[in-house]
Amino acid sequence: MKRFLLLAAMQATTLMPYSQEISLGETVPDISLGEFFHTPKRVLSLGQLKGKIVIFDFWNVRCSACMVDMPRLDSLQTIFGDKIQIILVTQNSALEVDKLFNKIAIPIPRLPMIINDTILYKMFPHTGDPFHAWVDRDGKLAALTNHDNTNNVTVANALMGQPINLPRRYNTTIDPGQLLVSEQNKMVLQLSYYHSVLFRNMTSYSTGEMVRIRNSQEDGTGITTVNTTIPVLYHVAYNYSLFGMEISSFDLRRNNRIVFETSNPNQFLRPSEVSEVTAWEEVNKLSYELNVPASDSDLVYQYMQQDLNRYLPFEARLEKRLVKCLALVRTDEIDKLKAEDSTILPSRKIDQNRNISIKNMTIKNAILKSLMTSLSFLTLPIIDATNYRGRIDIVMKSNLKTVDEFRAQLIRHGLDLVEMDKEILMLVIRDKKHKTTD
């Protein structure tokens, strides 16, 4: 007798009204499913439906899409018979539902319909109907999704044992009164496919400067800069176009291939007076972000160039100009550079005497990049005029800081740095000419 009372008490507890939200993968409690339209005495619990796929269709009398979809759901139930159970759920009363079907051409569906619901809407909270919650044959919540995802194909696949992996519908909605990139709509940022945005100065939140290049199959390819100056933005966008390789803006403090032919080129220089720095940063420090799918990874710099020409009050253009350069040239017909083994992996090693041993690299990556970054204080652009196309081995001292120090090392290998006039690509920045209409 005691055991019978205990089991009865356990069942009564399970069938009590339940108001806690259920997460995907959790077992849905064996609750009594409430009041049914036109059959108020009907008693049905989830336990009685175990072994079937149960699909709750949440709707309301003001939802035209819900009503239009009811005949399709009726047909779906007929097709799959007792292998599934579709249950309509509304918070509306019997009077409201009767009034609705008396004035529309759609017949009352044959599906079970729960009215006056106070439980299921709390277990599966959502914003806006129609909305579907799937419970699998083991009684676990398998999907929270839009109604279109309940169809012949998805139901058939689930019944064949395939994982129920339907697009997730979240319990939130976009606030149309706010920007998509905002705190109010932050939940949609993970869905960003393409985006670019230019922010004003962020030093109130972070005083540091940052440039990050991303390349991920999952998250896409992109560029993020924080609190960078306008010259740095142009450097990031055009450095590969100018140099044929990526050079960090932090390694190349001064890009001497960028020419500002603007009305006030000094505006890009940080003020020497401390009292003027904050006001200068408000105008001249910007943050930028671009994100594109991995399939467009080879276009990110082109997109950034287009963005800067669109967002900033300047026009940037690559132009060939005859300028005085510091050119890397060969001085010896004997090849003192050729790599001993062109099949090994390129390497750069520093020994205990601070000598850099470079193996199987190109002149561009082995020498030119070091010259550009170490001598970036020069006003003269540094170029490669060797016309050497092969791989090289070279040993040089590290921490070279002057032109003379570099020349002493280069001469040992049949190379030198000389001044010459050369026509090279330069990035010219001008004030934007706004078109006007009469």
Query: Which token pair is 170?
Result: 């979240």
Looking only at the bridges linking them, the beta strands covering 84-89 and 53-58 are parallel
What whole-number percentage of the chain has pLDDT above 90? 70
438: amino acid identity, one letter: D
pLDDT reading at 13 higher than 90: no
- Contact indicator for 435, 315 with CB cutoff of 8 Å: no
Q: Please tell me the least confidently modeled range out of 96-100, 206-210, 214-218, 387-391.
A: 214-218
pLDDT value, residue 87: 97
pLDDT of residue 124: 96
Domains of the chain from N-terminus onward: 8-159 (3.40.30.10), 186-312 (no CATH), 322-428 (no CATH)
pLDDT-based confidence at residue 176 (cuts at 50, 70, 90): confident
In single-letter form, the type of residue at position 47 comes to G
Q: How confident is the model over 123-146, as pLDDT tens digits? A: 999 988 999 999 999 999 999 999
Return mean pLDDT, the chain. 90
pLDDT category at 17 given cuts 50, 70, 90 is low
Summarised one tens digit per residue, pLDDT across range 369-386 is 999 999 988 999 999 999
Question: CA quadruple 291, 296, 302, 306: dihedral positive or negative?
Answer: negative
| Distance of alpha carbon 248 from alpha carbon 16, whole angstroms | 64
The predicted model gives 202-229 an average pLDDT of: 86
- Least Cα distance to 364 among 325, 314, 328 occurs for 328
Report residue 309's pLDDT band, with 50, 70 and 90 as the boundaries. very high
Is the pLDDT at 325 greater than 60? The verdict is: yes
- pLDDT band for position 355 (50/70/90)? confident
Contacts of 301 (CB under 8 A, 6+ apart): 237, 238, 240, 241
Q: Which helix (H) or strand (E) holds 357?
A: strand 355-361
pLDDT computed for residue 434 by the predictor? 67
Cα separation, 396 vs 369, in Å, equals: 14
140-165 pLDDT, tens digit per residue, is 999 999 999 999 999 999 999 999 99
Q: Say whether pLDDT at 9 is over 60.
A: no
Quickly state the pLDDT bin for 32 (edges 50, 70, 90): confident
Q: In this predicted structure, what is the pLDDT of residue 121?
A: 94
For 326, the token pair is: 């510091």
User: What pLDDT does 10 receive?
Assistant: 39
Residue 364's identity, in one-letter code, is K
pLDDT confidence of residue 166: 94
Where would I find the beta strands (DSSP E) of 171-311? 195-199, 210-216, 220-229, 258-261, 285-292
- Given a cut of 80, is residue 30 above it in pLDDT? yes
Which tokens is 379 given?
């006003």
Q: Is residue 315's pLDDT more than 80?
A: yes
pLDDT of amino acid 219: 66
Are 368 and 407 within 8 A, CB to CB?
Answer: no
What's the pLDDT at 8? Answer: 38
Whole-angstrom distance, CA of residue 368 vs CA of residue 258: 18
Q: Which residue has the higher pLDDT, 160 or 253?
A: 160
263: amino acid identity, one letter: S
**What integer pLDDT is reported at residue 1 of this predicted model?**
44
Provide the pLDDT confidence category of residue 2 given band limits of 50, 70 and 90: very low
Each residue's pLDDT tens digit, 38-67: 887 888 999 999 999 999 999 999 999 999
**Res 321: pLDDT:** 96
Instruction: Grade residue 3 by pLDDT with cuts at 50, 70 and 90.
Output: very low
Instruction: Check residue 143 and give its pLDDT.
Output: 97
- 323 pLDDT band, cuts 50/70/90, is very high
Q: Give yes or no for residue 7 having a pLDDT over 80.
A: no
pLDDT of residue 228: 94
